[in-house]
Amino acid sequence: MSLASLLAFAGEHSFLSLAFVGLTLAILYTEIARLFQGYKSVNPAELTALINRDNALLVDVSALADFEKGHIANAKNVAMSQFDPESKLLANVKDLPVAVTCRTGMTSADAAKRLVKAGFQKVYWLDGGVAAWQQADLPLVKGKA
């Protein structure tokens, strides 16, 4: 395919060409924003290594009822409505690895952003949350921590 045929296609199908350019820019923006978000997303295997190797603090920002239904072992529950990066639980670990999770990973991403804004240096986020943990066939603990 030559450049001339690509330009001819773009001229004949302007809507498709604009859609392609728009989607490409959106993907680029998302990926560049991810690089500068200040926290790193991890999968369940990476989280396991982080907890075992670096003794990371795991904070689950799920609602208490969801937390009690099943959570990752040794996770500390702090409901998002009460999440405060300056709390007693988090105040002494600003330089240590802190990983956040929730049921699906959506709420915990907001918690990770708040930790970064509060000056935490090593913030991790479980991409997909506890649901991803379950899909990886890793165990959950029921009840309160």
Name residue 33's amino acid: A
pLDDT value for 67:
94
Is 102 among the catalytic positions?
A: yes
40-135 belongs to CATH 3.40.250.10: yes
Which residues 6+ apart lie within 8 Å of 141 measured at CB? 70, 71, 72, 73
Beta bridge partners of 41: 125
Q: What is the pLDDT of residue 36?
A: 64
Scan for tokens 């075992």, then name that residue: 52
The alpha carbons of the chain give a radius of gyration, in whole angstroms, of 20
What's the confidence (pLDDT) of residue 33?
A: 64
Do 70 and 140 touch, CB atoms closer than 8 A?
Answer: yes
Of the residues 51, 58, 98, 102, only one is catalytic, namely 102
Q: What is the pLDDT of residue 94?
A: 84
Mean pLDDT (10-residue bins), the chain, 145 residues: 84 89 85 72 95 94 93 93 86 88 92 91 94 95 79
pLDDT of res. 145:
58
pLDDT at 34 (0 to 100): 61
Residue 99 bridge partners (DSSP): 58, 124
pLDDT, residue 101, reads 96
Length of the chain in residues, anyone?
145
Q: What are 138's two structure tokens?
A: 């890793």
Dihedrals phi, psi of 55, to nearest 5 degrees? 55, 45
For 87-137, strand residue ranges (E) read 97-101, 122-126
The pLDDT assigned to 29 comes to 78
